[in-house]
């Protein structure tokens, strides 16, 4: 399970990405479960979900160089049991990504660039965004950006409460801007993006 990216992206903030190559049996060997973890692990029925669960904890241990217990809020937001750091987690078919910080609220998302996103653009893009968001990469980055912000707010936002400013992703990494609107309240977010093979990743800090 190779660590392909690990970087301090801001003060007190670390981003890590692993490429998932091991099978389920090997992941179990790499990450022996503690008693308290077994109680949660046995509740997961799907092998893919079990593999993601293990891969997430292997990556987090690699990033922190020690084991930490991950719990979940009532809305499913991941959090450390000891509340020592804020974190956000994302998976795609081939990657797992985590961002952790002792300074910022953080959000992250990683998605495989595929035609699948075009089938649902009317569900997550505003009409004005559809006018300029034409390429598959743009559309996937917009999806990722809204997911990234959504993870910070948990259940307080709808995807169309997030407005993406027009951008052209001409490189394999960069940034663009988004803002949220709740009533007459606006908040801006700098969305940073990276590419890994055929996947795109976005993250933001507040």
pLDDT tens track for 186-197? 899 999 999 999
Q: How confident is the model at residue 31 (pLDDT cuts 50, 70, 90)?
A: very high
pTM of structure: 0.93
Residue 92: predicted pLDDT: 96
The whole-number average pLDDT for the span 13-32 is 94
Domains, the chain, ordered by start:
3-104 (3.90.470.20), 110-205 (3.10.450)
Q: In sequence order, what DSSP letters do the residues of the chain get, joined into one string?
A: --EEEEEEEETTEEEEEEE--S-HHHHHHHSPPPHHHHHHHTT---HHHHHHHHHHHHHHHHHHTS---EEE-TT--EEETT--SEEEEEE-SSEEEEEEESSS-EEEEEEE--GGGGGGHHHHS-HHHHHH--SHHHHHHHHHHHHHHHHHHTTS--GGGEEEPP----SSEEEEEEEEEETTEEEEEEEEEEEETTEEEEEEE-
132-180 pLDDT, tens digit each: 999 999 999 999 999 999 998 866 778 888 999 999 988 899 999 999 9
Residue 155: predicted pLDDT: 67
75-117 pLDDT, tens digit each: 888 999 999 999 999 999 999 999 999 999 999 999 999 999 9
């Amino acid at each position: 399970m190779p660590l392909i990216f690990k970087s301090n992206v801001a003060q007190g903030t670390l981003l890590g990405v692993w490429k998932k190559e091991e099978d389920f049996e090997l992941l179990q060997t790499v990450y022996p479960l503690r008693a308290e973890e077994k109680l949660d692990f046995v509740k997961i029925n799907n092998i893919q979900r079990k593999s993601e669960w293990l891969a997430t904890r292997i990556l987090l241990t690699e990033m922190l160089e020690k084991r930490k217990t991950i719990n979940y809020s009532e809305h499913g937001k991941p959090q450390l049991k000891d509340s020592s750091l804020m974190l956000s987690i994302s998976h795609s078919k081939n990657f797992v990504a985590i961002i952790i910080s002792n300074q910022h609220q953080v959000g992250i998302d990683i998605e495989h660039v595929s035609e699948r996103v075009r089938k649902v653009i009317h569900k997550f893009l505003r009409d004005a965004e559809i006018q300029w968001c034409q390429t598959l990469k743009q559309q996937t980055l917009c999806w990722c950006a809204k997911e990234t912000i959504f993870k910070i707010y948990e259940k307080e936002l709808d995807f169309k409460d997030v407005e993406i400013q027009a951008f052209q992703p001409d490189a394999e990494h960069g940034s663009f801007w988004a803002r949220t609107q709740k009533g007459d309240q606006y908040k801006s977010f700098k969305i940073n993006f990276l590419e890994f093979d055929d996947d795109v990743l976005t993250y933001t800090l507040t």
